[in-house]
Amino acid sequence: MATVEGSTTKYHHADHLSMRVTSDATGAAIAQSGHFPFGENWYETGGTNKLKFTSYERDAESANDYAMARSYVNRLGRFSSPDPIGGSISDPQSLNRFAYVLNDPLDFVDPLGLSCWTVGQAYVRYEDGNSVNYTIGILVDRCIEYGVCGGVGRQPGQQIKKVYTEFESRAADDGLLTKLTSLIPSICSGGGFAYGAAIIPVAPHVEVESLAIVEYDTEEGGAHGGVLALEVGPAVVGVESLRTWNDWKSHTGPIVIGGAEFSAASKKFGKSVKGGTFDAGGFANWMDGQLSLGGFVGGKVFGGGGFVSLSWRSCGP
């Protein structure tokens, strides 16, 4: 982090409690400061800096710290107004809506004045004295109910020029966000298909279905094959096997199909067609390390649909 005053650039080096050292362009230390765990001044040498406790900006008149959503009274170790988010009965300490980071400032920080973060997950950054922050990570208390949380803040009336992000390796759960994002699949391809079906009744509400399929995948190209499945009520479970036109390699995987049957027409339109002549539904198919999700519509014999293929590793065969 750096501030520019005229032709002089100062570099500020912080930890989770203080702007510990300020250096010049040569790397020489020109100022140092430290704070007690709840924000009171411990020492300050080499000049003053308005960025104080946990990089909050300290008001010269009230000596309170600007914590984005509210003000922090460092001499009391409390916020000046209640937490806008509120507390949770699952964490009794959070019911004290004036407390700073659950009364544990050695392990947590609160960059937005809303909820505490583990040390190292998020820090406020400044550009030319205008406070700009972007925080993203896993909140350790109330926001844990909502998963990944983020926020953008600025001082009123000031224009945000740039957003900074930082994740510190010394956080207790370093890499957790990366692990969570790895659970989000990549969309590898999409396509459409047409099918023709043959249905063999076995028992009431039990049938064997055989489908011939011709499809086109944006990644694999054209393919043909079929599905052999057992239908019990509205659920269909079976195996899909395809061969792509370019390599003739067999691709096989389990498939689950669900849908509903409708009448293709009604007496309202001057036709009387019994129910069960029109199908619509969706399916999930696992093949070659990819999950395909799609839907279909058609009659009992012919129909078509579309799909997208998802992967949690690199896309491709």
Q: What is the DSSP string of 126-191?
A: EETTEEEEEEEEE-SSGGGGGSEEEEEEE-TTPPP--------TTSTTTTHHHHHHTTSPEEEEEE
| Residues whose CB falls within 8 Å of the CB of residue 36, separated by 6 or more in sequence, listed in order | 42
Q: What is the pLDDT of residue 250?
A: 85
Cβ atoms of 256 and 282 closer than 8 Å: no
Question: Once rounded to an integer, what is the mean pLDDT over residues 24-37?
Answer: 91
CA–CA separation, 274 and 251 (whole Å):
37
Q: Are residues 175 and 216 in the same domain?
A: no
pTM for this one?
0.43
Q: What is the pLDDT of residue 143?
A: 32
From first CA to last CA, the distance across the chain in angstroms is 45
Q: What is the pLDDT of residue 234?
A: 77
Q: What is the pLDDT of residue 309?
A: 92
Higher pLDDT, 159 or 122: 122
Q: In what order do the strands lie in the sheet with 148-154?
A: 41-45, 29-35, 19-23, 8-14, 2-5, 125-127, 130-138, 148-154
Of 89-93, 117-121, 148-152, 231-235, the least confident: 148-152
Question: Once rounded to an integer, what is the mean pLDDT over residues 233-239?
Answer: 87
Asked if the model's pLDDT at residue 263 lies above 80, the reply is no
pLDDT digits (tens, 9 = 90+) for 132-171: 333 333 333 333 332 333 333 333 223 222 223 333 333 3
Q: Are residues 118 and 148 in the same domain?
A: yes
Mean pLDDT over each residue of the chain, to the nearest integer = 76
Asked if residue 316 belongs to a domain, the reply is: no
CA–CA separation, 224 and 79 (whole Å):
66
Q: Total structural domains in the chain?
A: 2
Question: Once rounded to an integer, what is the mean pLDDT over residues 3-29?
Answer: 88
Helix H, strand E, coil C: the string for 75-129 is CCCEECCCCCCCCECCEHHHHCCCECHHHCCCCEECCCCCCCEECCCCCCEEECC
Q: Are residues 147 and 19 in the same domain?
A: yes
Q: Are residues 163 and 300 in the same domain?
A: no
Range of the domain at 233: 186-311
Q: What is the CATH number of the domain that holds 210?
A: 2.40.160
Asked if the model's pLDDT at residue 61 lies above 50, the reply is yes
Q: Are residues 285 and 144 in the same domain?
A: no
Q: What is the pLDDT of residue 270?
A: 55
The tally of CA atoms less than 13 A away on the side-chain side of residue 21 is 6
Of 9-13, 188-192, 272-276, the least confident: 272-276
Q: Are residues 197 and 282 in the same domain?
A: yes
DSSP single-letter state for residue 25: T
Boundary (domain end) residue, out of 181, 205, 235: 181
CA–CA separation, 300 and 277 (whole Å):
6
Asked if the model's pLDDT at residue 227 lies above 80, the reply is yes
CA–CA separation, 215 and 147 (whole Å):
38
CA–CA separation, 312 and 315 (whole Å):
8
Q: Are residues 52 and 101 in the same domain?
A: yes
Higher pLDDT, 170 or 71: 71
Q: What is the pLDDT of residue 273?
A: 52
Boundary (domain end) residue, out of 136, 160, 181: 181
Higher pLDDT, 79 or 129: 79
Question: Once rounded to an integer, what is the mean pLDDT over residues 43-54?
Answer: 87
